[in-house]
A and B are shown apart, each in its own frame.
Chain A
Amino acid sequence: MSALPVLVVERWTPESRIALAVAALAAVVLTFGPLWLGANSVDRLTTLFIYVILAVTWNALVGYCGLVSIGQQAFFGLGAYFAVRLADSGVSVYPSLFLAAIIVGALSLPLSAMMLRLKGGEFAIGMWVIAELAHLLVNLDTLINGETGTSLISLNAYATDERRALTYWCAFAAMAGLLAVVFFLLRGPTGAAIQAIRDNEQAAESIGVRVTRAKRIVFVLAAFGAALAGALWVATAVTFQPKTYFSPQWTAYMIFMALVGGLGTFEGAILGAVVFFAIEAWFGGAGVWYLVGLGAAALVFALALPRGLWGWVEDKTALRLLPVGYRVRFLGERAVASAPPSDKSGT
């Protein structure tokens, strides 16, 4: 007589079903946000949605695929730029936001061919150079007036309240859509592939993972997400100054959100965006010390808690609210009659 462990492989748990129901309810409530919220709250939530987009797409690139980019502001700035450019050439302003992100996503495809051949720190700073180059090229467009910048003038066609609500809905739809895309991508074969690449690229390749293809999907998705965030940002801020949009501080924000929330956890990136949003609301006025704190937090989390707050919660409680992976649960032991097959000694 011996005992075999009874194991079940599961994805959905009772908690995660509740979490999904809560998320769906929150989505419905938030959809009607502009109808019952004050103007200030609507603006703030729009900002939060943009942060979530940045955090979740950057987390997919870095936390799941292991590609640390310091140059996502390239796509953020280009998204804003193309939105301004398209709106100036007569495209209706809200469609131009999404169109701009599609253009940037398409541009990132040829870029990925070259950049994805780089590894580690070389990829990180190489992307930063790309951001600097994109900044310089955008400045060459006379529409932008160099560092003086320009505005999304066609927003004036809408009354203030209407514009606020429309921007809110665009940001909300973009966030919900990207969350769904990233969620299903990570659950699917690509999600397994990119995590295998992150953990060991050679081993992944040796078992047949199409490394370049998997990396490219995530790279383009992250570029699209950052570009959409940039386009939405220019819709809320109205003015476009190249220097603020192509600033590495956006990457600093993304690093903070993903690291503090939980690098490589789906829920963590959302948590990180909420934490960052709250910290900015409370300490944003502290100016330089606020930025020192962000940098220090990134440093401390990278060294001491690289899987962030949510990673810590997951390790302690095995809680999975929005499951993108599988887990094995031990149910107990079952007695079996046969002898262990490995025991062949003596006879």
Chain B
Amino acid sequence: MIFVNQIVQGVLLGGYYALIACGLSFMFSVMRIINLAHGSLAILAAYALFVLADRFDVSPFLGLIAVAPAMALIGAGLQRAVLERSARGGLLVPVLSTFGLSIVIDNLLFQQFGADTRSLAPYIGDLSYDSWPITDDIAIGKLAALTMATAIALLGGIQLFLNHTQLGRMIRATAEDSDTVGLVGVNARRVNALAAAIAMATVAISGAFLAMRATFNPYAGALQLIFAFEAAVIGGAGSLWGTLLGGIVLGVAQSLGASVSPQGFFLAGHGVFLLALFLRLYFGGFGLRLRRVVRGQA
């Protein structure tokens, strides 16, 4: 029975991983860039929400109304100032420049907020610990359920947006061939900036949920990037729903690993990632691939 509980909690944890991986794989699919500052930007959003809650008594959910658009603007700016230039330099430059950016963000946050770990849990009342008991052993936390619901809503929303709106079609076309879309009157630069803005808005949301369910510090971004990457690689089966599946696999593996040994949480997570990678590389047709999530829609 204890394992059933571990699996249930793991699935719910997977909701958070799907949230944080969603922006990473969306950006990769549109712009072919893996943004190494992804995790650091999520932590930046978490600190912004923390400041709003701590200094101005703004609830994190209300705070997101301001922070998500602000992060979207940062995303568009980032695309114009850094990513676009990097992408022209080949495969090498985006990795180097976004890693440099993550160092800058992490250390500026440390400069501003110090090494203290923070959390948004005190600002959301009993949501942080309330749960619905299912059986004697199993209880579903309300916050974890909300995280999962948000992940499903966000992934579904992006999918609908990509499939059924003019802008969504433009993003898909740009991902397919950014030179040719110019011929039919699409401004690829603007579309990429929009895609980066959407990705960063999802980063703001995932930062909020990270900060509500756990603690964070200025250097927590690296681990979030790794989790996001692992979830995206495990589940990137060609659709955004693959990201959700990848998040759940990662969460369940970590949760089961943690029940075996204290180190097991991370070991099992990295282990399942390497297993998925191995399967994909040696049995490529398996479809486990961090690839064009957007193209998979077509």
Contacts and interface: CB of A to CB of B under 8 A. Distances in A.
Nearest to A292: B107
Contact of A136 (B95, B100, B222, B263): B263
Contact of B266 (A136, A251, A259): A136
B230 to A, nearest CB: 7
B8 interface: no
A120 B92 CA distance: 7
Interface string B99-133: 11111101110110000000000000000000000
A295 B230 contact: no
A125 B34 contact: yes
A280 to B, nearest CB: 15
A interface: dominant SS:
helix
Interface in A286-301: 288-289, 291-292, 294-300
A55 to B, nearest CB: 14
Contact of B97 (A118, A126, A303): A303
B229 interface: yes
Interface stretch (B50-58, B63-71, B83-91, B160-168): B83-91
B226 interface: yes
B138 interface: no
B112 to A, nearest CB: 10
Interface stretch (A37-45, A127-135, A184-192, A216-224): A127-135
A88 to B, nearest CB: 21
Given A288-B111, A303-B82, A306-B89, A121 B273 contact: no
B91 A66 contact: yes
A35 interface: no
B36 interface: yes
Given A121-B34, A132-B266, A303-B82, A295 B103 contact: yes
A297 B101 CA distance: 10
Contacts of B263: 136, 139-140
Contact of B93 (A126, A128, A303): A303
A261 to B, nearest CB: 13
Interface in A274-321: 288-289, 291-292, 294-300, 302-303, 306
A114 interface: yes
A122 interface: yes
Contacts of A129: 226, 229-230, 270, 273-274
Interface string B276-289: 01100100000000
A294 B93 CA distance: 16
A125 B263 CA distance: 21
A259 B277 contact: no
B290 interface: yes
Contact of B100 (A118, A120, A122, A299): A299
Contacts of A118: 277, 281
Nearest to A290: B107
Given A68-B95, A121-B94, A298 B233 contact: no
Nearest to A123: B95
A52 to B, nearest CB: 20
Interface of B: 28, 33-34, 36, 82, 85-86, 89, 91-97, 99-104, 106-108, 110-111, 222, 225-226, 229-230, 233, 263, 266-267, 270-271, 273-274, 277-278, 281, 290
18 contacts: A66-B92, A70-B36, A118-B281, A121-B95, A122-B34, A124-B95, A129-B270, A132-B226, A133-B274, A137-B267, A252-B99, A288-B107, A295-B106, A298-B100, A299-B97, A299-B100, A303-B97, A306-B93
Interface of A: 62, 66, 68, 70, 114, 117-122, 124-126, 128-129, 132-133, 136-137, 139-140, 248, 251-252, 255, 259, 263, 288-289, 291-292, 294-300, 302-303, 306
Across the A-B interface, give the 6 residue pairs with the lowest CB-CB distance, nearest first. Answer: A295-B103, A121-B34, A298-B100, A299-B100, A295-B104, A302-B97
